[in-house]
Amino acid sequence: MNTSKTPEPAAPAGQNAAPRPAGEALLEVDGLGKHFPVTAGLLRRQVAAVKAVDGVSFSVRKGETLGLVGESGCGKSTTGRMIMRLLDPSFGRVTFEGTDITKLSQAKLRPHRRDLQMIFQDPYSSLNPRKTVGALVGAPFKLQSIQTEHGVKKAVQELLELVGLNPEHYNRYPHEFSGGQRQRIGIARTLALRPKLIIADEPVSALDVSVQAQVVNLLEDLQDELDLTYVVIAHDLSVVRHISDRVAVMYLGKIVEIADRNDLYERPMHPYTNALLSAVPIPDPAERAGRERIRLQGDVPSPMDPPPACRFHTRCWKAQDICKQVEPPLVELSPGHQAACHFPENAAAPATGLVADATAKPDD
């Protein structure tokens, strides 16, 4: 590996620099983290912490979709919940439309709630079974005491039509709908307040394949129509590729790579991203023999005691001594493409030097 410290003036890469968005940043996440305390004994003393999210930074510009992928326990859902302030961050900052919402009280947060909505994985458990669809979708209007032009009912029916449901079904209950339709109800409710940013946490993973595609298309149509911005949290790499403009890959509470969708899927730099992509089964038997496979050994280490330095080094086939000693910073290795690796793949040689450079100056 080329670790010579060739100065590379072209790309000034700071450690926490979010990728420079071309448009206006709607959401900025800076060094965000969540440590859940682990207590033991009678006195509930804290003996350890689950480092669910350990300093992630990214920004989402208006109108784009950022995909957040990773395996279970990587902290992607926790990140989503912190952005929504459903969980209070342990450290770091969330800036929405230029306002720091990290420390806002619930009362002060309320006006922002309109603009910031969430779609959940299980459409059934997030809908009260005793309420009609009309009441469920109309609830946000009442909660935020919003005046609607032709009454709440009309507004709700418009929303139902928008998400592809029959507006006549206003009076039905959630159990009368199929899984895909319930997810549409959930989406309609989310849209009631015309939010600017929607965090979708595994929006299609509970649905059947044929229905998944319906909901994915719906989300895309709504984005065009209503000028929405999405953060899509998912474990399915194919769905994320389809829906996202940019993708961030998380491993053990950290972002290991973030790039434009095509860049990431065609020229993945971080070995973990490579391994993930290689593990996805391809629905084409002709590809069975020819594929080059990377098989990770063992399991993801516990987030209570993550490996030092590069967290992936215990399972990485490229790992060398430096990976166990120095944490590689997330640096821009090609325009708009950041990776946190000492020995990235698909990167030009000078870029490798850049990592070493950034590593050599930890106070940078």
**Using the rule CB under 8 A, is 261 a contact of other proteins?**
yes
Q: Please pick, from the candidates 43, 98, 209, 292, the single residue that binds other proteins as defined by CB under 8 A.
A: 209
**Using the rule CB under 8 A, is 181 a contact of other proteins?**
yes
Q: Which is nearer to other proteins, 141 or 312 (CB)?
A: 312
Angstrom distance (rounded) from CA 100 to CA 337: 26
Q: Which is nearer to other proteins, 226 or 360 (CB)?
A: 226
Q: Please pick, from the candidates 282, 348, 349, 360, the single residue that binds other proteins as defined by CB under 8 A.
A: 282
Q: Please pick, from the candidates 211, 320, 324, 336, the single residue that binds other proteins as defined by CB under 8 A.
A: 211
- Smallest gap from Cβ 80 to other proteins, in A, equals 18
The burial class, CB within 10 Å (0-12 / 13-18 / 19+), for 67 is buried
Q: Which is nearer to other proteins, 27 or 240 (CB)?
A: 240
**Using the rule CB under 8 A, is 276 a contact of other proteins?**
yes
Q: Supply the Cα-derived Rg of the chain in whole angstroms.
A: 22
Q: Which stretch binds other proteins (CB under 8 A): 77-85, 139-147, 224-232, 280-288?
A: 280-288
Check: CB of residue 198 under 8 Å from CB of residue 230.
Answer: yes
**Using the rule CB under 8 A, is 130 a contact of other proteins?**
no
**Using the rule CB under 8 A, is 284 a contact of other proteins?**
yes
- Smallest gap from Cβ 363 to other proteins, in A, equals 35
Residue 141: CB atoms within 10 A of its CB come to 18
**Using the rule CB under 8 A, is 48 a contact of other proteins?**
no
Q: Please pick, from the candidates 7, 22, 42, 175, the single residue that binds other proteins as defined by CB under 8 A.
A: 42
**Using the rule CB under 8 A, is 345 a contact of other proteins?**
no
Count of residues making up the chain = 364
Q: What DSSP character marks residue 150?
A: T
Q: CB within 8 A of 191, min separation 6: which ones?
A: 117, 159, 162, 163, 222, 226
Q: Which is nearer to other proteins, 30 or 71 (CB)?
A: 71
Q: What DSSP character marks residue 11?
A: -
Which residues in 57-86 contact other proteins (CB under 8 A)?
A: 71-72
Report the Cα–Cα distance between both ends of the chain, in Å, rounded.
23
**Using the rule CB under 8 A, is 9 a contact of other proteins?**
no
Element (H, E) at 26: strand 25-40
Handedness of CA 331, 336, 339, 340 (dihedral sign): positive
- The token duo for 83 is 């952005």
- Smallest gap from Cβ 140 to other proteins, in A, equals 26
Count the helices and strands in the chain (H runs, E runs): 12, 12
Cα–Cα nearest to 80, from 218, 221, 216, 232: 232
**Using the rule CB under 8 A, is 298 a contact of other proteins?**
yes
**Using the rule CB under 8 A, is 235 a contact of other proteins?**
yes
User: Which residue shows structure tokens 């030009």?
Assistant: 348
Angstrom distance (rounded) from CA 111 to CA 359: 42
Q: Which stretch binds other proteins (CB under 8 A): 88-96, 132-140, 178-186, 305-313?
A: 178-186
Query: Site for other proteins (CB under 8 A): how many residues?
Result: 46
Q: Which is nearer to other proteins, 98 or 298 (CB)?
A: 298
What pairing do the DSSP bridges indicate for beta strands 45-61 and 91-96? unpaired
Angstrom distance (rounded) from CA 180 to CA 178: 6
Q: Which stretch binds other proteins (CB under 8 A): 166-174, 209-217, 304-312, 341-349?
A: 209-217
Which residues sit at the interface with other proteins, rule CB under 8 A? 42, 71-72, 178-181, 208-214, 216-217, 220, 235, 237-239, 241-242, 261-262, 265, 275-288, 293, 295-296, 298-300
